[in-house]
Structure 1
Amino acid sequence: MNADPFVMLVKVVLNLYLFIVLLRLVLQFTRADFYNPISQGVVKATSPFILPLRKVIPAIGRIDTASLVLALAVQLLTVFAIVLMKGATLSATGYAIYTVAGTLYHLLDLYFWAMLISIILSWVAPGASHPGAMLVGQITEPLYRACQRVIPPLGGLDLSPIFIFLAISFLKQILGPYSI
């Protein structure tokens, strides 16, 4: 095995920050409650980089382009660091592909875990008023609604999470070879 602990450490730290940046992007896109303590933590962790970017990069509709640019920059930094640490080389096109595909992969991963938490919470603590449960519900609800327009619930059984999980898994399989 060629498991380099320094490569793993760099990947964990940068991917954790990428997760936080993507979470901010999703929170703004879904118009989640920004007075939620978890949302406030995400905003505080990302504001030092996003606020200067917002001065030069305006939002496009509901998409916070400053957060998107920061997410792509963090993923590009991750790809660059891993390639440099492994002593490999990549073309500019390779960097672009790994950056975009890796960012999309991690965004899908965020939604995968949010949906899994949402499903478990619906069994264990339906209607929970914990800030984390409320935030997960606000993130996943638009995705569920979009799927339910195509596949309505059958009686009391909602099959939309199954189809969303299949779609996410399919897309992650496509993007997997290009994610670092």
Structure 2
Amino acid sequence: MNGYLANPAVFLVNSVFELYVLAVLLRFLFQLVEAEFYNPVSQFLVKITHPPLKILRRFIPSIGRVDTAAIVLMLAVKMLGDFLVFQLQGGGAVGIGILTGSAAVQLVSLTFNVFIYAIIIQAILSWINPDPYNPVYSLLADLTEPVLRPCRRLIPTLGGLDLSPLIALIGLQFLKILIIPPLHQLALMLTF
């Protein structure tokens, strides 16, 4: 594709595929942390991700509480999106191993980002005293609680000031910096 049309096409493909991967990841994480199922946001995510997951679940069983069909769907959608972007940018043949490794590393990075941004948004919302019955706020609380709870045990509230989000953000960013580069190197080694 020529350069003039390639950039908008890459942007569009990337945006659509990334948003769908994010929707599946959020559904997966909400299931994992047992967030409120009947929340309107949860129901929206269920509706847009249910058709392909219904098909995949016939062949891919869950392992305990882990929805492996959702993981396979995220990987497949990410790989397809990366492949289409690569082709739109004028790339040639690309191996399935490279796509799989790259997609897996990107999904791990996206998972860290979801928790980091959820904690930041929840902290900002706490400054403006949000409605605790707001569907978005309750999902954020459900999602971030497994990360914030251990931090609250380490550092209790100091005079009404909760530093657990700060500790969680530092810890998540530290883990992301520690984990992503070796995963990236491992993905590169396994593809050759």
In the aligned structure 2, how far is the partner of 1:146 from the partner of 1:127? 25
State the alpha-carbon separation in 1 of the partners of residues 144 and 31 from structure 2: 13
Which residue of the partner structure matches residue 73 of structure 1?
76
Q: Distance in 2 between matches of 1:169 and 1:78?
A: 26
Q: How does 1:3-152 map to 2 (within 5 A)?
A: 4-88=7-91, 89-126=93-130, 128-149=132-153, 151-152=154-155
Cα distance in structure 1, aligned partners of 2:137 and 2:81: 30
TM-score, normalization: structure 1?
A: 0.87
Once the two structures are superposed, residues 14-51 of structure 1 have per-residue CA deviations (whole angstroms, 9 ceiling, x without a partner) of: 10111100000001000001011111111001000111
Q: Tell me by how many angstroms 1:174 deviates.
A: 6.2
Which ranges of 4 or more aligned residues in structure 1 deviate by more than 6 Å?
Answer: none
- Measured on the aligned residues, the alpha-carbon RMSD in Å equals 2.4
Contact 1:57/1:65 (8 A) holds in 2? yes
Whose Rg is larger? 2
Read off the aligned partner of 1:147 and give its amino acid letter: C
Is the CA contact 1:105–1:172 (under 8 Å) kept in the aligned structure 2?
Answer: no
Alignment gaps of 5+ in structure 1: none
Count the aligned residue pairs: 176
Q: Determine if contact 1:108/1:172 at 8 Å carries over to the other structure.
A: no
- Displacement of 1:172 in angstroms is 5.8
Unaligned runs of 5+ in 2: 185-192
Q: Percent identity between the aligned chains?
A: 38
Give the Cα–Cα distance (whole angstroms) in 1 for the partners of residues 83 and 157 of structure 2. 48
